[in-house]
Amino acid sequence: MAGPTSGGIAGWSILVTGGGSGIGLATAERLAADGAHVTICGRTEQKLAEATARIAALAADGATARYVVADVTVEDQVVAAVTAAKDVTGRLDGLFACAGGSTHLGSVLTADVVAVRGTIDLNLMGSIICVKQGGVAMADQEVDPARGGRGAIVLMSSGAGRFPHPHLWAYGVAKAGICFLAETAGEELGPLGIRVNAVAPGIIDDELMSFITGGGPLLDDYLAQMPLGRVGTVEDVAAAVRYLIGPESSFVTGETLGVDGGHHLRRGADYSLLFGG
């Protein structure tokens, strides 16, 4: 598959799941600022509407923003979100599967199986559905040399999926599956001109992590295990996603890019500290 003949993502149509807040919203803002037509989806309409207004305010001339209410664990709803994004230009050039989270925290020995299953379903199965439906939409469109192929998919993994974080194991198992999904899908879809990669953030200062980044023993433990010695920002991750979706990375697939201040070089944070461990 030939490389791109030009750079930039102006005029591209990109879907961001979990785009109503945090990393998803920051990435959608970055993509629109670079000229892309951005569609976000999530489960809460009011949050999506407010996020879309923010994205539109930062969008470059000619770029647009819209939202679709969708749960990534429901395949029909993902199909609807993909269709809405593709309808803008007739193509789906990029998909960032950002939606995720954890409903379980604690020992394997006292695991709440329902919460574990919910965590795996949201993170791993949601990503699988996005790869399937995003890949189907991309495979059905023409190869564009300026884009380096038919499209690019970026998945949301985590440092917790690459090295153990005590008590955060259910989330880690799901995120580890996403790393392997990027490799497997990257291998299968590469010949079709579709690239699949993942990002693996460390501790990021957003609303989901505010109970940690606000301070305390767990934050101290994180910082002690990070060579760069600081908490990450949503913009740090957005920049990595922008690279992996854009033509600048047209020869990269099946990779998981750590965005963690070097945390992966040491040990995972110990979430038992939240319980006085």
Active site residues: 171
How would DSSP label each residue in 85-116?
A: HHHTTS---EEEE-----S--S-GGG--HHHH
Torsion sign (Cα): 165, 169, 170, 172: positive
Is the separation of the CB atoms in 156 and 97 below 8 Å? Answer: yes
d(CA 238, CA 144): 24
Beta bridge partners of 197: 154
d(CA 70, CA 204): 25
Question: How far does CA 126 lie from the centroid of its chain?
Answer: 11
